[in-house]
Structure 1
Amino acid sequence: MATLHLDGISKNFGAVAALTDVDLTVDAGQVVAIVGDNGAGKSTLVKVLSGVHAPDAGTITFEDREVTIPGPAAAHKLGIATVFQDLALCENLNVIENLFLGQELGPYRLDHVAMEVRSWELLRQLSAKLPAVRLPVAALSGGQRQTVAIARSLLGDPKIIILDEPTAALGVAQTAEVLNLIDRLRENGHGVIMVSHNMADVRAVADQVVVLRLGRNNGVFDARSTSSEEIVAAITGAADNVVAQRAARVQDAVPNEGAER
């Protein structure tokens, strides 16, 4: 049974239709990538799910019951955690302080020991490697910062985790580190929604690819069996695009196995 299902979600900003009749289904232990060109509606959809925007039409079903998400706190309580692209980390605070910012442990004074123990537990869930949890975030790499942001999202034991452009501006090694974290989330039974422009990253970890175009659904693809060219064609709305043409030329240049040499 699907953990999260959107049916006919629409959102308008004045005369601009940002989303029109969008459907989306995410199961437990599944990574669903949402792709699309700039202005396709990806950010608006993320904000609807995270409680920033209320949809104008459509229904949201979470664990077999219809729900509303009137604000970010409601999304968090429901079991939907969002890691936005800017990560929202405080660089002058250490890893523990960032993980528990606004959710500190201790009824009368901070329980530093309990928070440190819990920090390592969260990192172990992700099989993440950080040199120390008392380092300031400013001293961490981009991949390590993403690790901290994802670990923080696990504090409320969410069922769905939304990652907005998790590998943007990361190097090769750091990107691989973050993709491993996404794999770990899936293995731990979380449903993951990954918004990305990077087709290689999408193909590496996603189970399903949902294409948005001009605020509407424009295809749902199996990430393992669908070519990048087919997905790009759905994104651009044209099968005869430059990527497809290049792929065809490469394919034509490969000699037939049965051809005489």
Structure 2
Amino acid sequence: MTNPNDPPALELRGIDMHYGYVRALDGIDVQVRGGEVLGLLGDNGAGKSTLLKVMSGVHRPTGGEILVHGAPAQFTSPADSTAAGIQMVYQDLALVDAQDIATNLSLGREILRRGPLGWLGFVDHKAQRRRAAAELDRLGVRTAAVTRPVEMLSGGQRQVVALARGATRVTGERGGVLLLDEPTAALGYEQTEQVQQLIRRLAADGIALVLVTHNLPLALAVCDRIAVLNRGRKVADVPAAETGNDELVGWITGARASMFAP
């Protein structure tokens, strides 16, 4: 983890989100530091997805403040959060199945050929493959050849490619933030282990990660800290090493009292 004296990579203060008379988020305070994995848990309708959409710029909050590395930020679109070093990995992965791994890693940052062909928009596929292979090596990712189409990959390999694509966009001199929405929802045990190892490697590289999941064993195994939402309010925020399955289930279902005053 980064220096504890450094400001959080991403901090939300007093976030409210209203849809007419419905209050989806109620005064949410949450932060994640570089090199930390924050688990965000809660039942369906608890507000997890809404909070991720606020972090990623999809939704503009009704109230509250967002800070990135200690500086106030306003997100009016996902492009704003991307520019601030925040990447979202959606549950459906948003990969182009018919294209190879290298092309998927390069979406939105294609390498054009030199000279007139580049002016006409022709892509330098060889250069993209070299860059993709180097980026995967740097992340410690061992998957199929970068020339293999995504449609030929297993579920775990597809998830790793999606995580790697997000990671290549948030690494740098100042580590960014990677938001993960149910990254293991459709995976088996071995594939979940593969994703779990990559999450820890990304955290070791200084990236801050926010993990939304219903998989409590995964959250306890991979997260440094866990926050629980219930009906739009944060009811718990604890180090993962200091809690357990029964306590988390109690907060998620509402059987256990909130850690915070109403």
TM-score by length of 2: 0.89
- In the alignment, structure 2 segments of 5+ residues that lack a partner are 1-5, 258-262
Instruction: Output the CA distance in 2 between the equivalents of 1:187 and 1:117.
Output: 24
Instruction: Please state if 1:120 is matched with 2:129.
Output: no
Residue of structure 1 equivalent to 2:168? 155
Q: Which moved more, 1:223-232 or 1:119-128?
A: 119-128
Q: Deviations over 1:57-97 (max 9, x none)?
A: 00001111110011111111100000010000111111111
Q: Which moved more, 1:51-60 or 1:152-161?
A: 152-161
The runs of at least 4 consecutive aligned structure 1 residues that moved more than 2 Å come to 154-158
The letter of the residue matching 1:61 is: L
Instruction: Please state if 1:48 is matched with 2:66.
Output: no
- In the alignment, structure 1 segments of 5+ residues that lack a partner are 241-261
Instruction: Output the CA distance in 1 between the equivalents of 2:144 and 2:96.
Output: 18
Instruction: Please state if 1:136 is matched with 2:142.
Output: no
Instruction: Output the CA distance in 2 between the equivalents of 1:193 and 1:130.
Output: 24
SS in 1 for 2:35: coil
**TM-superposed deviation, 1:169:** 1.1
Residue of structure 2 equivalent to 1:94? 100
Instruction: Output the CA distance in 2 between the equivalents of 1:239 and 1:79.
Output: 36
User: 229, 232, 245: which one pairs with 1:228?
Assistant: 245
Residue of structure 1 equivalent to 2:184? 167
Instruction: Output the CA distance in 1 between the equivalents of 2:47 and 2:94.
Output: 22
**TM-superposed deviation, 1:144:** 0.5
Instruction: Output the CA distance in 1 between the equivalents of 2:206 and 2:108.
Output: 26
Residue of structure 2 equivalent to 1:252? none
Instruction: Please state if 1:202 is matched with 2:208.
Output: no
Instruction: Output the CA distance in 2 between the equivalents of 1:232 and 1:163.
Output: 21
Report the RMSD for the aligned CA atoms in angstroms. Answer: 1.3
**TM-superposed deviation, 1:170:** 0.3
Q: Deviations over 1:36-58 (max 9, x none)?
A: 00000000011111111000000
Instruction: Output the CA distance in 2 between the equivalents of 1:59 and 1:104.
Output: 34
**TM-superposed deviation, 1:110:** 1.3
User: 231, 243, 246: which one pairs with 1:214?
Assistant: 231
The letter of the residue matching 1:155 is: T
User: 17, 20, 24: which one pairs with 1:14?
Assistant: 20
The letter of the residue matching 2:140 is: S
Q: Answer whether contact 2:170 2:177 (CA < 8 A) is retained.
A: no
Q: Deviations over 1:217-260 (max 9, x none)?
A: 101011012111111111111049xxxxxxxxxxxxxxxxxxxx
The letter of the residue matching 2:91 is: Q
SS in 1 for 2:197: helix
Instruction: Output the CA distance in 2 between the equivalents of 1:217 and 1:157.
Output: 27
Structure with greater Cα Rg: 1
Q: Deviations over 1:152-182 (max 9, x none)?
A: 1123235100010011010000000000010
Instruction: Output the CA distance in 2 between the equivalents of 1:29 and 1:174.
Output: 23
Instruction: Output the CA distance in 2 between the equivalents of 1:221 and 1:212.
Output: 12
Q: Answer whether contact 1:32 1:194 (CA < 8 A) is retained.
A: yes
TM-score by length of 1: 0.89
The letter of the residue matching 1:237 is: G
Instruction: Output the CA distance in 2 between the equivalents of 1:125 and 1:196.
Output: 27
Percentage identity across paired residues of the two chains: 43
Residue of structure 2 equivalent to 1:58? 64
